[in-house]
Amino acid sequence: MTEAVHRIRRAAAQRPALARVAPFAVFIAITAGQDLLGGVWPYVLYALKTALAAWMIWVLYPVITEMRWALSLGAVAAGVAIFAMWVGLDDLLVRIGFPSSYPRLTTSDASWNPVAHFGRETVSAWFFVAVRLAGATLVVPALEEVFFRSLVYRSLAAKDFLQVELGHFAWMPFLVTSLLFGSEHHEWLAGVLCGFALQGLVCWKNRLGDAMTAHAITNFLLGVWVVWRGAWHFW
């Protein structure tokens, strides 16, 4: 097993773009299957993809040198502000004159709601809630920030993305990366605004870790909000 991990790491070091794509691509591929299946499968596949992505992050951690958590006041402020924007955007749009909420991107009519599926008093329901919260807080920020703000952004800026500093700012990569990031989320408008904030944080700090931390804080607070308020549509 150890030798297999070493071989993967050596291969990943020789293919830096693939190393940054693979965890995200696997996660998205399983998500696509998850959205097509009913019953217990969306919950089982979420746990599976979270565990697999976590393992891939662990394997590739020595290779992807920018994938390092960093804590700063800016990261905490950004994470809390993005959460507030995410849950309050609909009300804000109505207050400034929009007649109703904006349409969401969705591949399914069903909400991801283990409490409704398994029952509020069951161990299964709260196990899958915990898995979702842990995955959204600890796994998703690392794989998404590496893919979007380390690879995609810098690849749009130059052919050899490793030669582009994380703090380099360019309008076209900034806008395109944020739009792509937004299109990955049901709440696409909130996702685009979140992309602006996270990319701006990377450009400001010239490192990825602050954006990972901000992303984790947002996802954790949103998960708590989902469970507390029963706002399962956010999941």
Least confident of 95-99, 148-152, 194-198, 218-222: 95-99
pLDDT digits 0-9 by tens, 166-222: 999 999 999 999 999 999 999 999 999 999 999 999 999 999 999 999 999 999 999
Answer for the pair 147, 164: CB distance below 8 angstroms, yes or no.
no
Task: Output the CA–CA distances (angstroms, integers) from residue 16 to 6, 27, 160, in the order listed.
Answer: 15, 18, 10
CA 102-172-162 angle, to 5 degrees, is 120
Percent of the chain whose predicted confidence (pLDDT) is above 90: 83
Phi-psi region of 206 (alpha: psi -120 to 50; beta: other; left: phi over 0): left
Distance in angstroms (rounded) separating the CA atoms of residues 145 and 24: 10
**How distant, in Å, are the alpha carbons of 19, 24, 51, 87, 123 from that of 29?**
16, 9, 14, 27, 28
Q: How many residues does the chain have?
A: 235
Cα gap 157→173, rounded to integer Å: 6
47 token code pair: 């746990």
Average model confidence (pLDDT) for the chain?
93
Is the CB of residue 213 less than 8 Å from the CB of residue 72?
yes
pLDDT at 27 over 90: yes
CB within 8 Å of 206: residues ≥ 6 apart: 165, 166, 167
pLDDT at residue 26 greater than cutoff 60: yes
Q: What span, in angstroms and rounded, lies between the C-alpha atoms of 46 and 170?
A: 35
- H-helix or E-strand containing 106? none
Residue 110: which pLDDT band, with cuts at 50, 70 and 90? Answer: low
Give the start-to-end residue ranges of the domains of the chain. 68-234
Q: pLDDT tier at 109 (50, 70, 90 boundaries)? A: low
H or E element, residue 91: helix 73-95
Tokens of 54: 């976590």
Alpha-carbon span 120 to 194, nearest angstrom:
32
What residue type is 192 in one-letter code? V
Band (39; pLDDT cuts 50, 70, 90):
confident
> What are the tens digits of pLDDT across the range 70-87?
999 999 999 999 999 999
Please classify residue 170 by burial: count the beta carbons closer than 10 Å to its beta carbon, then call 0-12 exposed, 13-18 middle and 19+ buried: middle
Instruction: Give the per-residue pLDDT at 156.
Output: 98
**pLDDT tens digit string along 178-192?**
999 999 999 999 999
3-state secondary structure of 5: helix
User: Which tokens hold the place of 197?
Assistant: 């904030």
Q: Provide the whole-model pTM.
A: 0.94
Cα(25)–Cα(147) distance, rounded to whole angstroms? 9
Q: 128: number of CA atoms within 13 Å, CB side?
A: 23
